[in-house]
Amino acid sequence: MRILLFGKNGQVGWELQRSLAPLASPGQLIALGTDSQTMCGNLADPAGIRETVQTVKPDMIVNAAAYTAVDKAEQESQLAQTVNAIAPGVLAEEALRLNAWFIHYSTDYVFDGGGDQFHIESDTPNPRNVYGKTKLAGETNIIDAGCRYVILRTSWVYATYGSNFIKTILRLAQERDQLRIVNDQIGAPTGAELIADVTAHIVQSLRNRGTEISSSGLYHLAAQGHTSWYGFAHYILTQAASANVSLKTTTGRLYPVPSTEYPTPAVRPLNSRLDTTKLQETFNLYLPDWQSGVFRTLSEILANQQSLVR
């Protein structure tokens, strides 16, 4: 199997290179980023990525690239539209031409965040910011292309690699005497490692099922359970303290605040809960609770920091 991966330098793309390598034929995992020299891996260049797909002729296209600067997208809407909407449509068109599968990642931001229930795949999207609107347009373009596809909506992504909420909280807690964290946005922190492992499981399943298109569709992928950004931060600091990390901000100096205290250019959804029943039943898998993934990633981050100190 020849797999073409876009977005290799992102958090999810980094992990996908590990998880997908055993499924590809020897030397047939082609991983590209915006800095790739021999072929175009930049989704801001739709014509370039079309040429890349036509050159590689993959059996599977996996797109982990996206414009994810949520606030900046309010001013760079055209670039966000090109990367998040137009380019995925181009990849889907090429997947159809090659009869290849296309796996793409979307977001909880396609919903407006109303209510307090878990969103299912058939709920009506209503994005409240440019980022969410462009990601929803990308979903629509993929579906309309008519290829065999799996779109995975996920939420609150973190990883050992790259910048993310865990590393930010650890850094701020070592620099400041107190922290004020939003407590009315609810979702499930979801590790890039989990996303990559589930993707590999899906790829293996699709390969075993041959050319059938019954698994083609939209799915929600997130860790089990839910918390707020405040609850996420509280868990991080609790575990860091248990690991004897020196912190200026302890859990007693961590304060919950409403989103209205931190206005941002892009409105965030308050409810980012995603129901993952469809994914688990279709692909016969079990998703772990959010705490287990955060604990594992946090332990690895702290171990890396300690090794650098030595």
Q: How far apart are CA 247 and CA 178, in angstroms?
A: 10
Q: Which of 67, 105, 109, 131 is catalytic?
A: 131
Q: How far is residue 8's CA from residue 17's CA, in Å, rounded to a whole number?
A: 7
- Distance from first CA to last CA of the chain, Å, rounded? 43
* 158 included as an active-site residue: no
Distance of CA 169 to the CA centre of its chain: 19
The secondary structure of the chain, three-state, reads CCEEEECCCCHHHHHHHHHHHHHCCCCCEEEECCCCCCCCCCCCCHHHHHHHHHHHCCCEEEECCCCCCCCHHHCCHHHHHHHHHHHHHHHHHHHHHHCCEEEEEEEHHHCCCCCCCCECCCCCCCCCCHHHHHHHHHHHHHHHHCCEEEEEEECCEECCCCCCHHHHHHHHHHHCCCEEEECCCEECCEEHHHHHHHHHHHHHHHHHCCCCCCCCEEEECCCECCEEHHHHHHHHHHHHHHCCCCCCCCHHHEEEECHHHCCCCCCCCCECCECCHHHHHHHCCCCCEHHHHHHHHHHHHHHHHHHHHC
**Which of 73, 55, 139 lies closest to 105, judged by CA?**
139
Q: Which of 189, 192, 182 is nearest to 268 (CA)?
A: 182
Catalytic residue IDs: 131
